[in-house]
């Protein structure tokens, strides 16, 4: 099991604050929850991943 990153902790806290699930955020963007987790945990890289991570941050107000 991978240790949670600071970014991952902020993401989880924001979900709790907004009473949302990871699945709901993924569905908003048309992604799988697994892909969203990979983005948040820094397990995927590249321009598309960076852009998608930024979209998530803006959507959640991070």
Does the reported pTM lie above 0.85?
no
Helices (H), 1-62: 6-18, 22-29, 33-40, 47-60
- For residue 46, the model assigns a pLDDT of 93
Give every CB contact of residue 43 below 8 A, 6+ residues apart in sequence.
Answer: 2, 37
Q: Give the pLDDT confidence of 1-55 residue by residue, as tens digits.
A: 566 788 889 999 999 999 999 999 999 999 999 999 999 988 988 999 999 999 9
**What would you measure as the largest C-alpha separation in the chain, in angstroms?**
30
For the chain, give every domain's residue range. 6-60
Torsion angles phi and psi, residue 44, rounded to 5:
-130, 145
């Amino acid at each position: 099991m991978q240790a949670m990153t600071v970014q991952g902790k902020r993401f989880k806290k924001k979900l709790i604050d907004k009473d949302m699930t990871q699945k709901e955020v993924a569905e908003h963007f048309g992604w799988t929850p697994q892909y969203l987790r990979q983005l948040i945990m820094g397990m995927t890289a590249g321009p598309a991943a960076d852009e998608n991570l930024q979209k998530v941050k803006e959507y959640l107000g991070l």
